[in-house]
Each structure stands twice: as structure tokens, then as C-alpha cells.
A and B are shown apart, each in its own frame.
Chain A
Amino acid sequence: MGSCSHVNELGEIGQVEYCERVRAVLQSAAGDYPATALQLELRTTPAPDASGFGGQVTTPDWTAFPTRVAGCLTRSRALTMLDRLPTANSIGGRALQEEYAEWRVVRDGEDIVRVELTTELPDYWRTLARHQPQRLLELVTELSRADAIDPAAVFGELDFERTDPDGREAAFAAAMLDPERASAYNDGRLGICCMVHPSNGAAALASLIAAAAVPREVGAAAGPRAPSIAELARDLGSAVQAGRASDPVIAERVAQLAHDGATLSLSRPLGVHIASVQHTRLRTPAGESVPQNWFHLSRFAGGGGPARPQRLTLEVPPEAGFAVSDLVDVATEQPLRRGGEVARLVQLATSLDVLPSTSRPTRMRVPAGAPERSSWACETLRTFADRMERA
């Protein structure tokens, strides 16, 4: 039996507790949709069914670049906004990084020294804070490339060694996970450890999948079919956001499987991982291809299944003599100037275990149709961006 998260990092009690935490998240999500085909247990693949038929895996993938933000604000404005660091008066660009990946850009003057991107869930880090606070501090130090860090930056003024797990989790969440007032070690100024956007947590992912996993069908002349995002969005409400790269792809995939009668389970470990990188898009100033290993992958989530990287760092080796911002994307013919341009090269995925069925499920009928006007909520996004810029 694999773990629900990383191997050997949470400790035995932490592992058990994290599995319970994930189970509670799934239970809550599934509870909102009683007809969902989403099972409550995470699986290590393949999961045999009663007949001995092996389960299969589906891995919908999407770009880490927030397509809705670019569509609503224009690409150029979005790229600028997404990289904004928070100030005393203004929330940073992380508030717009809504594709289950968040990043920060490390600069030396105008040069980009490196770009760090993470898909790690805050839920996991909460558990780490509860049971392995020392390891957590080491990890924050390591990921921030600091010599040492003041525990107060991670736990506030709390004496974390003398506090119970509940107190530590609360202190950690207050210091590191508040999207509006996170510590410099997780808001991008000095580091980025895990995601903080409210849409990027385990609950949002589970809710999206549970909602989409209700068997539905759309009547069509050629016979009933699974719904598209246009049709799902009306039913799923706030569980899905049209216009994103992630939500529609995940929702349509899950809806198709549920329509076909499959039973779904989230793969261990729960979450989103980095599936691939378009390193072939980048050229050095001399016009040479960029080696794949300049994109360093780490924080592999195992859980008994295939290792899945949750962190990516793009960095040019010092001996190369130039910066990340000197690399040119052949698709734009422009040097990299923003973190979003790197995010565009990164493909994310989540894995679901699928037990196909030969029986037809009872399906909810949904009306056919195109997307409703304003389904991307651009006006809200523009107002938010205007406020950020004014602050």
C-alpha cells in the first residue's frame, strides 16, 4: 500500500493523518454530489475490480499558463500582472495563478536568474507543519536557498516546538498560506514552497472532479453524448471555471468517463504534477537548443505509483555565462521576460484511476448549448486587476 503523499517525509503518524485529511476532502466533495462516480478512497494503480479486470489510468493534461487571465486582460498585461510581487498595499500576481501551479521569478536587476514553479498542495504542507516542523523548516530553507531562516517567518511568534499539532498548523497557515499576507518565504519574495491560491487546493480539485463525475448526458441527433464544458458549467456552478486551461479539460474528461459508466478514483498521491516541458521551444543566445536538464524537476510525489514531480526550476548553469532572460522562445522570437512565458511551456496533469463498466449508468439529462456569455467572468477579473494596479 502506497502513501497518500511523499514517501518518508511526514512520518508514520503524519502519513496516516494525511490520508485521513485527503479522505475527508473527498468525502466532503462527494457529499455535495450524491450521484458522483468518484470513490472516496485514493488508489495505487492499477486497481482491480471484483471481476479481476485491471483498472486503468487517465491523465488529463493542460498548460500551467493561466489562459483565462490572458484572454481577459490581454497576454501582455497578464504576463506583467502574474509576476507582480505583493506589497504592503497590494496582493501579488499569485492571486491570478489559477491553473494548479504557482511560480516566482528570481531576478538580478533586469535579468531573470531562475524561475521556480510548484504544484504542491497547501494541504500537504499543513500536515508537515503538524508532525514534522523541523523537516518543514529545513525544506523552506532548502527551497529558498537560504543559509538559515527565522522560524518566526514560518510559524509566526509561536514556539513551534512547544505547541501541539493544531496550534502549529494554525500558526503555519497564518504565516505561510494566507494569499494576502503570506510570509516572504511563500509569497515569492524570498521563496515559494506550496500553492496558496484558493482554487489550487485539494478541496477545489476534489470538488471539480466529484461534480463532473455525476453521470450526465446531452441529447443530440446522433445519440446521447457526454456534456462539454459549455453544458457542464451551468450544472457545476462554482466548482468549475470556464476559460481556464485546467478545469474544462479535467471536467470534460471526467464527465465523459462518468457518462460511459466508469467508476473513478483519484490516484495516489492526490494532486497535480508536472507532466512535461516544451524545452525544445527555447534557444540559447547562440541559437542552440536548451538541454532538458536546465529544467530541474524535484519534489517527486510517489505514493506507490510512478514518481511525479511537483516542482520545477529553470536555471542556466553558471558556466553558460548568460541568464534565463537571454533564452529565446522560438514561438515568439522573444527572450523570456516573464514567469508566465515559462509556465506556458509547462504541461501539468492529474491522474485518475478508472474502473470501466459495461453497464449503462443512470444519467442526468442536461440541455445542449454553447457557453453562456460572460462565463469566463472577465469583468470581475478586470476589476480585480485594475484594483491591483491602482494599489
Chain B
Amino acid sequence: MSADEQPSTGKLQPGIAFAEGKRPAACFRLLLLDFADQITPAQARDALAAVMEMLEGLGRGQVRELTDQPPAGAANSAQQFRSLQTLLAYGRPAFSEQGPLPHVTRPHGLSSLSHPSPAFPALPWHASATTNTGEAAIALQLTADNAAAVNCAAIEVWKLIIDRALPLTVAGSFDGFGRPDGRGWLEFHDGVSNLEAGQRPAAIVAGPDPAWMDGGTYLAFLRIRIDLSRWSTVSRVEQKLTIGRDKLTGAGLTDVVTDQSGQEQPRMGDPAPEPDSPRWRDPAQTLDPHLEVSHIHRANQTRASGWAPGALRIFRQGFDYLEHFTAEGPELGLNFISFQRDLGVLHDLLHLPGWLGDSNFGGTSDSDPTDRPLLTLAAGGLYAVPPTERPFPTAGLFRP
């Protein structure tokens, strides 16, 4: 595909909910795999082919240990795994000198996240993240409409590795869930300002640079811990100003006025836009300096279309997570998952002052280093998601 042709989504792997009206799956699990030391390209190819073949069969209800089960049981298995979708991605370690792809051109921007120094200037690592467990040679994004499908699929991968002594190891695993109400832990609408469906291919689909990624995309995974107890101390007005939306309706705020008592009051326009209208979903670039530093504007300062390369548009599909409760409260957050045509776009977004490079979430620049950040990074990794190919994406690159 040349840069001035319309990108086709025909070669995108499954598991990206970019189509009009489609919502991300209800259940998510990211399974990370590493190659064994000294693995040869042929061994890597055979191992990945086995994993992908098994997962494909699983989607048809074929569980290895249950071959020849009675028809009713087979129907139950098929029902459970019917919605399972697997997306195969390659992380930075896959392109190391010791890996099976040292001769393959590593895409621009496919880098390791800095650790322990912050990977992004305004998003520090969580104190518990003593290492980055979000980066591996292989990422399998498993999505489905039920938790059993994604969790059992992950375990089936592990069992296959053990049973066949595949030269792979499970490096990590992260779970998450989608919310049918379209909100996140902060109880604000989340993901509503995603691109209009017609513009998404331009923001998502990678070009032929390098050639093996033509028609694929890039995935960013950031497991972001949210300090909900801190958020709960913020007034509702301040919350709205920080986000840039109304909490109840999700409408983008248009300006801020000072009321008779001297309090700042955000407004939603007069009249407020119709729910689900383009302006409601994706408010225009604000002229109000208070709102210009809000989260939705920092994340998308130009508000331009996906066809404008300088607009730094990405397509997000997030999955919340809840790990457990401690004496201090719940440990929870968001699996930030984004797809973009170029990982440089994500680096720009998270490094640029005025965008998210100088603010942890929203508001003015974070000048006070003692301030407890609302968001911290628990794990993360950047991945190349090559175009579909049989028996699995990039199988042809594993040349002896």
C-alpha cells in the first residue's frame, strides 16, 4: 500500500473493534510469551504455528484433551469459545540479536519502555513495578464475550507448551473486562471520543515501512493503575474540569464561567449537543484555557480527523481491571490498549508538552513532584501486529 492510497482493513487481525457500532469484547486477557534461549527460526515458527493452530481450533470448540467428547459436550465447548478472538503481536525482545528475527527490520518506534526511569515523562512507574512485566517477544490478545473463553484459552496455551515441550515460556498475563455502560473507574464515559468509524483505518492501518508490516497495525499496552481513593477526594466540578466532560451525560464541556460565588462552573454548550451526535462524542478544539488542559483535549489537542497525520489520532479499546483489595483500598486500573499506524504517534502523544507529556492525567503541568499522581504505570509494552497470514502472521519471516 502506498501512503496516498486508502488503507484497507482487510489484513488486520481479529480483536480490534474498529467497525461502526462495534464495541470491544466483554473479556480480555493478554498472554505474554518469550522464546527459549538459542531458539532457531524454524523452532520458533513451528512453536507459534502450533499455538495458533490450537487457538484456532479452540474457537471451533476443539479442546485438545476433550477430543471425541459426546456431541452435547462438544456443543458446550463450541458455545464457550465461539466468540474467542486471538491477535498475535511481536514485542521488542523478538527483534533482539539472540531472538529468531534478528535479520528482520524492527519497526520505527517499537522500543522497550524505559525502566525504572519513567517510560513517559508524566506517567511514573507504580511503586510495585520493580520490573516491567508487560514486555515480551510475543503478545497474544485474547478477547471473547465470556471470561471462561479467554482464561481457558490462556491455560490451553500453557498446557500446549508443557505437553509438547515447545521452546516458549509464559512471561506474564493480564486480565481485564469491558464495561457495557461505556464508563471507566472514574465513572466518566470512556472511549466515547474515539474516531468516527470511517476515519479509523487511516489512523490504525500501518503502511509498508517496513514492508512486512504493510496492512498490519501497532498495539500499545499500558496497564495503568488508578488511585481511586485520591480521585474520590476531588470535587465533582474539579473532576469535570479535569476530564473535560460532564459526568452524567458525557457531553464535552464547552467553556467555564465563574458564578456569583466566585466558583468556576463548566458548561456543556447552549444548547448541549444531542447524545451520540458527533459534537457530543468528539467536541471541537476548545477555545477555553481551562478546558484546553483537560484530559480529553490533552489527549487530542487538534481534534482533527484521522486523515490528518499531524493530528496524532489513535484508536483506543480499553479494558478495566480489578486485582484485589488491600487495607488502603482496591488495586485497580485500566489496560490501555491502543492501535495506531505508527508507534511514533503514541510516543509523541505521551511526550509532548501541552499534550500528555507534562500532565499525569489532566489539568495544568505537574510542577509539584510531591503530588501523588492519579495514574501510575504497572506494566506496559509496545507491539507490532503484522497483517494476517497463514499459518500465522509473519510465518514467512522465520527463515532458517
A residues within 8 Å of B by Cβ? Answer: 56-58, 60-63, 67-68, 70-72, 74-76, 220, 222-223, 225-226, 228-230, 242-246, 248-249, 252-253, 256, 260, 275-278, 280-281, 287, 289, 330-333, 344, 347, 354, 356, 370-371, 373-378
Contact = CB atoms under 8 A, between A and B. Distances in A.
Of all A-B residue pairs in the complex, the 6 with the closest CB atoms, nearest first, are A245-B310, A71-B3, A376-B4, A248-B308, A62-B310, A331-B347
Interface bin, chain B: 35 or more
Contact of A249 (B209, B276, B308, B351): B308
B330 interface: no
Contact of B112 (A223, A249, A333): A333
Contacts of B117: 287, 289
B310 A244 contact: yes
Interface of B: 2-6, 108-109, 111-112, 114, 117, 120-121, 198-199, 202, 207-209, 274, 276-279, 284-285, 287-288, 301-305, 307-311, 343-344, 347-348, 351-354, 357
Contact of B4 (A72, A220, A245): A72
Nearest to B210: A74
Nearest to A245: B310
B3 A68 contact: yes
A229 B287 contact: no
Nearest to A349: B354
Contact of A242 (B109, B209, B307, B354): B307
B305 A229 contact: yes
A220 B279 CA distance: 12
Contacts of A252: 302-305, 308, 311
A370 B2 CA distance: 16
A67 B108 CA distance: 14
A56 B343 CA distance: 34
Contacts of B301: 61
B309 A71 contact: yes
Given A60-B302, A222-B276, A378-B3, A260 B311 contact: no
Contacts of B202: 371
B287 A281 contact: no
Contacts of B3: 68, 71-72, 243, 376, 378
Given A249-B302, A376-B3, A378-B2, A230 B307 contact: yes
A344 B198 CA distance: 27
Given A68-B3, A371-B6, A75 B302 contact: no
A196 B111 CA distance: 36
A67 B202 CA distance: 14
A277 B6 CA distance: 31
A134 B343 CA distance: 48
B277 A370 contact: no
A244 B354 contact: no
B284 A244 contact: no
A203 B217 CA distance: 38
Contacts of B274: 222-223
Given A222-B276, A253-B285, A373-B4, 14 more contacts: A61-B301, A62-B310, A70-B209, A220-B278, A222-B277, A222-B278, A228-B199, A229-B308, A260-B284, A276-B354, A330-B114, A333-B112, A370-B198, A378-B2
